[in-house]
Chain A
């Protein structure tokens, strides 16, 4: 096993996911299989190669500093599960 139970619980926590006991087992197995397969990239001859972040070469793409008002602001709050005074409501943060 490449990944420990402790690790996967830590990862799930970072991703804000709860895992049930059977899910832990299943994901551990899946993650292990997939990483084992993914390890083949270690054989790839990448010495002296830079990284590629995206496949197109657009650079220096900027926007003018001009105000455009988004007209339908109400629609941005319409899907909120909980709101008050036009704000999104969440449990109190200490």
Chain B
């Protein structure tokens, strides 16, 4: 039995049947990290020793009956922008290179309460700004399907670690596609929940009105299970939805008979890699066979969404990143002449190129003279995009698009062209602008064997519908049985 290839629900089964012990599971993952991390470099901080010790403690407590819990002893990896008390939380930035979080993010707290074991903090684009994980201050992360390609981003470490079987599942965060796009590039399942479903308390803010934490998993059932763990109203986050907690695994019925699937023509065609479109069209055929109805819809707001997204996200970021000033936590420049100089030197030294670029754009669109033309207009366009999606959901239950117009690109391929990097987010950003839930599920591979992702978008708080739709397709496609990462160079 290859332990690290198992999903979490399979691990649970084996634990229940006493075919496996908790310490065996952790050991298998520690061994796997020791074997593969040098090639993939998904982690900023590994906690293999702590995890090993913790697994033994948890095993003992379970054996003595002190604790129960269906997830006790299951390992996880956490994106390095979620605060973990006593553990470094860097956001992959020099700014927080040595920052030890003084508290746990709510999502992390929920993970800890289940006695889930943290194997480490996962690499990302600095402050979650980017789509390739090349903007990490520490190192790049490499795509397990082809080590010359990016894993996507910003949750590239999370997606690559799951794909490489170095963690069974992981937490990511998604501001403009940062869970779904790397999940697509790495052939795993990534879910961005409805804005407000998961507490953002302790998630280092990039763009507060867009950020959401969500699961990156091997399959759809694991996604539903991890969502069960991290959801719930949190009084520390005023945008946290005060709704009843659900069991999302109950939604996985495989039955999509009569489900209306909206296909917006604007998300296909020009700019979309032919194999991506082909595979998604083939998936739509599968849905038809399963009894779903395909409805052609129009959502002529993709480009507006993208422009609006970059204006709003950068504006919010420029304000959110003001607190990194070298006073209460590092980085602080070594030599400075007065307070002004301390601020400017510390921030200039410790923020990377992409972060500075976005702070400048954000400061520009918020500055007097440009506020109305850009920021205010973008907020109006946001209303327009929301109205269009509302209309669309009058005609269908879910919307299907590619997650990304292309499969994973080469490392360095877009690094010198920020605008083309931004444009790659065209399919994902509307979901953040509108606050809707979206899931990316693997949908075959391209001619080079790189995974393709299909995005299923749902209406507000209708995670059950998109999980069920994703699950139904997953059972037919059997991606994990047919395709495996090769770690080729």
Contacts and interface: CB of A to CB of B under 8 A. Distances in A.
B238 A61 contact: yes
Contact of B328 (A51, A88, A93): A88
Interface in B243-298: none
Contacts of A37: 307, 419, 422
B384 A90 contact: no
A78 interface: yes
A27 B354 CA distance: 10
B311 A58 contact: no
B149 interface: no
A39 to B, nearest CB: 8
Contacts of A76: 102, 328
Contact of A34 (B195, B196, B310, B327): B310
B304 A42 contact: no
A17 interface: yes
A56 B303 CA distance: 23
B363 interface: yes
Contacts of A54: 195, 209, 239, 435
B304 A81 contact: no
Contact of B348 (A3, A18, A40, A42): A18
A47 B342 CA distance: 45
Interface string B383-395: 1101100000000
Contact of A42 (B194, B377, B434, B435): B377
Given A50-B380, A52-B382, A17 B356 contact: yes
B433 A41 contact: no
Interface residues of A, number: 52
B304 A44 contact: yes
B412 interface: no
B46 interface: no
A80 B328 contact: yes
Interface in A11-70: 11-12, 14-19, 23, 27, 30-31, 33-35, 37-42, 44-46, 49-56, 58, 61, 63, 70
A17 B209 contact: no
Q: Which 10 A-B pairs have the closest CB atoms?
A: A55-B435, A75-B102, A51-B379, A81-B332, A79-B329, A46-B380, A61-B238, A52-B382, A16-B343, A18-B348
Given A46-B383, A75-B102, A81-B330, 9 more contacts: A18-B348, A37-B422, A38-B311, A41-B374, A46-B381, A50-B383, A51-B376, A56-B194, A79-B330
10 contacts: A15-B363, A31-B364, A46-B380, A51-B383, A53-B209, A56-B195, A56-B241, A80-B327, A81-B332, A91-B342
Interface of A: 3, 7-8, 11-12, 14-19, 23, 27, 30-31, 33-35, 37-42, 44-46, 49-56, 58, 61, 63, 70, 72, 75-82, 88, 90-91, 93
Interface of B: 85, 98-100, 102-103, 194-196, 209, 235, 238-242, 301, 303-304, 307-308, 310-311, 318, 325-332, 336, 338-340, 342-345, 347-348, 351, 356-357, 359-361, 363-364, 367, 373-374, 376-384, 386-387, 418-419, 422, 433-436
